Structure 1
Amino acid sequence: MCGITGWVSYDGDLTGRRHLLDRMTATMTGRGPDAGGTWSDRHAALGHRRLSIIDLEGGAQPMTAATADGTVALTYSGEVYNFRELRAELRARGHRFTTASDTEVVLRGYLEWGDALVDRLTGMYAFGLWDGRTERLLLVRDRLGIKPLYFHPTPGGLVFGSEPKALLAHPDVRAVVDLDGLREIMLGVKTPGAAVWKGMRELPPAHVAVLDRTGLRERSYWQLRATEHADGREVTGGHLAALLEGSVSEQLVADVPLCTLLSGGLDSSAITGLAARELAYGGEALRSFSVDFVGHSEHFVPDGHNVSPDTAYARAVADHVGARHTNLVLDPAALADEEVRRACVAARDLPIGRGDMDHSLLLLFRAVRAHSTVALSGEGADEMFGGYWWFHDPAVRASTGFPWLTAATGTARQERAFLRPDLQKALEMPEFAEHRYREAVAATPVLDGDSADRRRARELLYLHVTRSLGGMLDRKDRLSMAAGLEVRVPFCDHRIVEYAYNIPWPLHVFDGREKSILREATRHVVPEVVQRRTKSPYPMTQDIRYVEALQRQAREVLARPDAAVFALVDRQAAIRAADTPWDTSANAPGQRLLLEKLLDLDVWLDLYRPELEI
């Protein structure tokens, strides 16, 4: 896993502007702490920061291949899990390899197949490839968007990078956020292609972009399709089990220590069980990690959706599979540490955090990194198999809005009452949310013969895979890479997504529970106590001392007469949230959300000094 960046300019000579490339590349050091490199010719310059995972001695980047007609250069991030099979095929076609890395397979694959290479790759990846033979840049992003890639047109070309901060380091890219950017920040839905920063774009999942002297073009190379599913329950469970086993096996390939992230829920337990079984064949013991809060299990209060604390279940899974388990226990002071918030906002480049859920995740990743360089995680299963409670709530299912937002706010109409009234009016958030929702629903793949219920089930799954999962993956990528940790997500294999999307909804819930078919497929590796467990979301601390710390920090912001954050946030709403004693009443989630958003926005405005066009 790495950080990549680059710059193409057809109007100038980049060989003399190395300092700008170095500046852009340096922003990616967190993503690639092990090594760095740059390459340039007249019209293109590529930068790379490396986190060494495969072929630790080889695989340095940017990687080049000399041809009779010019140099082809690659800066690449991610993992291609089928690189061994592709390398064997390329060798049979006459290619010679000097490293054991998947990077060289991608480079040689392009020399053999050109842009059609993307159809052969399985994995998580983002890369930029400069073909000096035709003076052409190719940008590629994996099918699910697991690895990020941004670009921004510049006079005579463009700049690109793994994160916006790399692009913002270039003098031709201004740190401007307009009303559309603020709408994306405030909505809480990751619109494919939207990058928030004005003029910047995130390459959508499963897309390539080509830049040459005639201009910039994008195209999709993969998309979900609706197909008939004729398999019964037993065959479906068996096929799903085989897909999961294959995905986990592929993603255990590494030349560095690896582990799993284990919450004790079905998804992470399945990944842990499959990984432990695979490693046992080679005589290895798996390491697993989880996060907990001081006193959380002893004082846990169910709230209807958070039904049980994780710790006992994670330990039961670890004991069941023989994993060496570590439970990281955090106290309120660590969760509320202002340095941790600052690090989270910097990692994500935007004030879109989830408060203590982000903070605990970053601290977990830092702890894991002391032992492992690669971790396997269970992201994606809830989106693909209908794991969230709102999939099964009739009122939310019938709502004409993003179901996770409707579930959180109680209405499809998305107001943002913590904003200044004039800004609320200018943003028109309810209308924006409705537009984005209808745009996504209209793109849902369906079959002509689908019933209304079948279509709605497809819509809900499609909304989650294309509008919710991206935010989850971005969160996991940014926070893990900020700690120098590579996190792999076996459920996000496109073959699993394709299969799960077309499983009829009655099979998803055949026993009246969420993720029934996934439970069936993983029964052989998940202990019965977890099989019986009701879905519980990623944990939030219930410790009042955490919220009291947020209130103290909010009062400090309010005490600054020149605090820029009040160009966005309503000061009176912030005062009420900071001064009202916190309890577990119906208003508590909104109060906590306002405090988190206020503090994140304050940090973001200080770190990035964006020009707000509002």
Structure 2
Amino acid sequence: MSAIFGIVRFDRGDADLRALDRMRQAMATRLPDGSEHIADGPAALGRGLMRVTREDRFDQQPVFDRTAGRLLVADLRIDNREELAAALDIAEPALVEMADSALLMRAFAAWGEACVDHVIGDFAFAIWDARTRRLTLARDPMGQRQLYYHLDADRITFATEVPALWAEGAPHALREGWAERRAYRELRSAPGETPFAGISGLSGGTVITVDRDGVVTSRRYWQPHADPAHLGKDIDYYIAAYRRVLEEAVACRVRRLDRPPGLVLSGGFDSGAIAGLAGPSLTTSGLRLVAASSVASAGAAAKGDARRWVELCARDMPHLDVGYVTGDGRDLLSGLEQAFENAVIGASAEYPITTALFESLATRGARLVMDGHGGDYTLNPRGDHMLAELAAQGRFRDVVREAVAHRRVTGDSWWRTVWNQLLRPSLPAPVRHGWERLKRGGRPPRPLALLRRERVDTLVAEGRLRKGGTPIVDPRDFSLRIVARLADQSDTPHGTLAASYGLEMTRPFHDRRVVELALAAPVIFQVREGRNRHLARRALADIYPREFLTRGRRNDRIAPDQMRMVRRDLPELLREAERLAATGAGRVFDLEGSRAIIAKLDTIPKGRRAITEQEQNAGTALRTLFAARYLEWFRRSNDPRNDD
């Protein structure tokens, strides 16, 4: 997880190394193993090191090719080292002691910016070519490493984290409309847009060049798509490919480590798959997999508690070292400023538990952390609306068979099964839109965070927010839409938050190879005999605990202790909502509405729907408080005298 940063001037003046030092200091948590920098006339590039892989012992950045006049800094892990070495005529003995950054420099020398089409792995890099006076910046396909930049008339500054750009004069201001996009996921940002004025980020799969006059040329070298090699196969092919591709994605992340890897283990199919597939590589290296799991406090009854499933994984996976995190002793509102300092503004309702998980992994020696995020919209979709898919293909016997099996597995009524799984998703789009409008009474979709009513009305009047909520999406397009949206994003909030604990975050289900397989596999293969995640159950039958093969559809809670924490901290939450309502944040966010929601959270509802509704309301209220706290903090950080 090397932090990279740099400055390139367009006015032919020399770069200031003191400026580079200010940028370095702003990312101190990312460079526990030292930092280096090099100046070359108008360009100065720096790298802060945190050793994660064995090859990091040989890493000496910035890499300076004096013959070609090129400087490189990179935050990367290359997975196809042997393949690249063969293409670049690098002998095996030389490759053993060659850092990934040196290998990347050789690839750039051979292919120029097209090297991104040949490299597989997580990466963000910058290359300065003194002869052509061009700067090249690039980011891996799904954006697992991040890179931001600020461009003005005289220079470009770039860095792994936004605060490094602020340290060197980039505007410290929020972009107009950031709060609205924070509240409604329907309001998508443009590719590469950040919440901060004057600061852009590279989207996943993007390479840009900046010439001597500051002109930027951008190329999207990869976008989410199905790999043609995986199209049109039978179910046995996809079962085998599932195992092969995901196993390789996990192995690439753990087989070259000097320290034990970390895993946020939720006990589900996705994180459970990572836990099991990491075993062979770790057994060879003699390392264990350090896992952290969020569970309910001892003696506390909580729906969706993953403890049982985590314990089953620990029983059958001897390489696991599991630590548990609960809500005991954790304040819902404490520690937010630490995230704000690192430009993490998208704090989720589970923020206190997420930070506790990262802390647990870091204190037990991990430097790399994985999680199962992404499985639901790549290899392991939940299989909703599968009856409609079968009906669309004319497979009516299978519709009846799977409807019966669905009821047996889920306990749903016939009406609920037929309506949710068959009729509703089969309706024409205009009818589905009308149904959504009717169901929501013409209201906008459920917000992630509450905005003041007048702001919502403005969004509706401008046509940016459609009343009636979000219509049902064809499951064939669902994965592609989500993956494309994530690849467009410039930020990785969980990655930035993990970095503040000295952790490098990587997600195997966001691996390019996994995504390209997932988008090729027909969704029709995901459900069999009423059970979803059929490919996972078949492909990993020898990896999962046997109980996984017959477990139900419902996911466990990310933070099963959350509602208990909310009820415990209710007085503090109410006071905070009231306090924030009197600040400038109260003119943007609906703190009165949040307070009204919080006031109703002290009772325990009965019934699955009521419990789900209360949890959703609690999440909305917490995210509103977090966003309002961020706005208050941001304004105060600009001017300590500004308290509104």
Q: TM-score, normalised by structure 1?
A: 0.84
Larger deviation: 156-165 or 274-283? Answer: 274-283
Aligned equivalents of 1:185 and 1:150: distance in 2?
Answer: 19
Contact 1:176 1:610 in 2 (8 A): no
Determine whether 1:352 maps to 2:359: no
Aligned equivalents of 2:279 and 2:94: distance in 1?
Answer: 35
Question: 1:259-294: per-residue Cα shift (whole Å, max 9, x none)?
Answer: 433221111111111111333345554443322242
Q: Could you say which residue in structure 1 is the equivalent of 2:17?
A: 18
Alignment partner of 2:329 out of 328, 333, 346: 333
Within 5 Å, give how 1:179-578 maps onto structure 2.
Answer: 179-188=176-185, 191=189, 192-214=191-213, 215-226=215-226, 227=228, 229-252=231-254, 253-281=256-284, 284-295=287-298, 298-301=300-303, 308-336=304-332, 338-339=334-335, 341-347=336-342, 349-355=343-349, 357-370=350-363, 371-388=365-382, 393-394=420-421, 395=424, 413-414=444-445, 416=447, 418-428=450-460, 431-433=463-465, 456-467=474-485, 474-533=492-551, 534-540=553-559, 541-549=561-569, 551-556=571-576, 558-559=578-579, 563-577=583-597
Q: Which amino acid aligns with 2:366?
A: S
Q: Could you say which residue in structure 1 is the equivalent of 2:110?
A: 112
Aligned equivalents of 1:410 and 1:234: distance in 2?
Answer: 46
Aligned residues: 580
Question: 1:391-446: per-residue Cα shift (whole Å, max 9, x none)?
Answer: 665557978999xx99x9999933658322333334449943569x99xx9xxxxx
- 1:8 shift after superposition: 1.8
Q: Could you say which residue in structure 2 is the equivalent of 1:38?
A: 37
Q: Could you say which residue in structure 1 is the equivalent of 2:617?
A: 590
Aligned equivalents of 1:77 and 1:543: distance in 2?
Answer: 39
Q: Which runs of 5+ in 2 are unaligned?
A: 387-419, 640-644
Larger deviation: 49-58 or 410-419? Answer: 410-419
Q: Which amino acid aligns with 1:594?
A: A
Q: Describe the SS at the equivalent of 2:532.
A: coil
Aligned equivalents of 1:519 and 1:178: distance in 2?
Answer: 45
Relative distance call for 1:240 and 1:33 in structure 2 (3 A) is same
Q: Could you say which residue in structure 2 is the equivalent of 1:450?
A: none
Q: Which amino acid aligns with 1:513?
A: R
Q: Could you say which residue in structure 2 is the equivalent of 1:449?
A: none
- 1:480 shift after superposition: 1.4
- 1:151 shift after superposition: 1.9
Question: 1:287-332: per-residue Cα shift (whole Å, max 9, x none)?
Answer: 433222424x74113xxxxxx3111111111211213422223234
Q: Could you say which residue in structure 2 is the equivalent of 1:6?
A: 6
Q: Describe the SS at the equivalent of 2:279.
A: helix
- 1:512 shift after superposition: 3.4
Contact 2:124 2:145 in 1 (8 A): yes
Aligned equivalents of 1:128 and 1:338: distance in 2?
Answer: 36
Relative distance call for 1:567 and 1:397 in structure 2 (3 A) is farther
Q: Could you say which residue in structure 1 is the equivalent of 2:396?
A: none
Q: TM-score, normalised by structure 2?
A: 0.81
Over aligned residues, Cα RMSD in angstroms? Answer: 3.6
Q: Describe the SS at the equivalent of 1:239.
A: helix
Relative distance call for 1:315 and 1:431 in structure 2 (3 A) is farther
Q: Describe the SS at the equivalent of 1:179.
A: coil
- 1:530 shift after superposition: 1.9
Contact 1:288 1:318 in 2 (8 A): no
Aligned equivalents of 2:89 and 2:207: distance in 1?
Answer: 26
Larger Rg computed on CA atoms: 2
Q: Describe the SS at the equivalent of 1:333.
A: coil
- 1:46 shift after superposition: 1.8
- 1:39 shift after superposition: 2.2
% identical equivalent positions: 23
- 1:121 shift after superposition: 0.8
Relative distance call for 1:372 and 1:350 in structure 2 (3 A) is closer
Q: Which amino acid aligns with 1:466?
A: A
Q: Could you say which residue in structure 1 is the equivalent of 2:174?
A: 177
- 1:374 shift after superposition: 1.9
Contact 1:346 1:607 in 2 (8 A): no
- 1:7 shift after superposition: 1.9
Contact 1:264 1:313 in 2 (8 A): yes
- 1:126 shift after superposition: 0.9
Question: 1:553-608: per-residue Cα shift (whole Å, max 9, x none)?
Answer: 44146347862321312343244345445334556332542243223421443146
Question: 1:122-169: per-residue Cα shift (whole Å, max 9, x none)?
Answer: 111111111112111111111111111222221133222222222222
Aligned equivalents of 2:492 and 2:369: distance in 1?
Answer: 16
Q: Which amino acid aligns with 1:59?
A: D
Contact 1:4 1:28 in 2 (8 A): no
Q: Describe the SS at the equivalent of 1:144.
A: coil
Contact 2:5 2:160 in 1 (8 A): yes
Larger deviation: 104-113 or 183-192? Answer: 183-192
Aligned equivalents of 2:283 and 2:222: distance in 1?
Answer: 35
Larger deviation: 230-239 or 36-45? Answer: 36-45
Larger deviation: 261-270 or 192-201? Answer: 192-201
Q: Describe the SS at the equivalent of 2:603.
A: coil
Contact 1:160 1:167 in 2 (8 A): yes
Aligned equivalents of 1:491 and 1:160: distance in 2?
Answer: 28
Q: Could you say which residue in structure 2 is the equivalent of 1:100?
A: 98
